[in-house]
Structure 1
Amino acid sequence: MSAWGIEFPERLNDEFAHLSAGERRAIYDLLKRIADEPRADSSTREPITAAELRRALTDPAADSGDRVTILYRVHEETMTLQLIWFVAGP
């Protein structure tokens, strides 16, 4: 079990609801992997000063085949990952 927690801001609920079921599942699966190791090779660090902002891409969704890009921030001191935004599309 991972010691990392994930914050999913309420402001993203409407955006999340508009995704297909497969895209929501792909996000869930990716967040499970990220919670195990937020700095995995499958993510990239974005060049922002004074914050560790990372980007990761889901596997293709089972229903649409689309991939979702997730942008998240790593809070080392609290061992928390903060979901910032996600973008779905081909």
Structure 2
Amino acid sequence: MSEPGPWSVVVHERLGTEFAEQLSPGERRAVHDLLAVLAVDPRTGVSEPVQSAELRRALTAPAADTGQRVSVLYRVHQETCTVEILYILTGP
């Protein structure tokens, strides 16, 4: 069986406010960079399965301005080659 085609990343609309208002510019850039990696292949070593859930978790690189890492929780839909972003978590 051949590998699936390019992956689409879908960010829920409800995350727009959180992304715009709660993340610093550096944290937004770190999330953007992580999503670019997930769009290539969401099953890469940048993420780990969340126990007892059909979710995966990936951490961004430290943000350039705050040093914070952002957790991104997502679900992979293999049949449609879609990465569904469900939560973006920041803070200690």
- Sequence identity of aligned pairs in percent? 51
Equivalent position of 1:29 in the other structure: 33
Deviation at 1:48, TM superposition (A): 3.6
The whole-number CA distance in structure 1 between the counterparts of 2:58 and 2:24 is: 19
- Structure 2: gaps of 5 or more residues: none
The whole-number CA distance in structure 1 between the counterparts of 2:6 and 2:42 is: 11
Spell out, residue by residue over 1:18-48, the C-alpha distance to the aligned partner (whole angstroms, 9 max, x if none). 2100000000000001111101112001234
The whole-number CA distance in structure 1 between the counterparts of 2:50 and 2:67 is: 26
Residue correspondences, number? 87
**TM-score, length basis structure 2:** 0.88
**Equivalent position SS for 1:64:** coil
Q: What amino acid sits opposite 1:45 in the alignment?
A: P
Over the aligned positions, Cα root-mean-square deviation in angstroms equals 1.3
Which structure has the highest strand share of the two?
Answer: 1
**Equivalent position SS for 2:70:** strand
4+ residue runs over 3 A deviation: none
Answering whether residue 23 of structure 2 is matched by residue 15 of structure 1, we say: no
Deviation at 1:89, TM superposition (A): 1.8
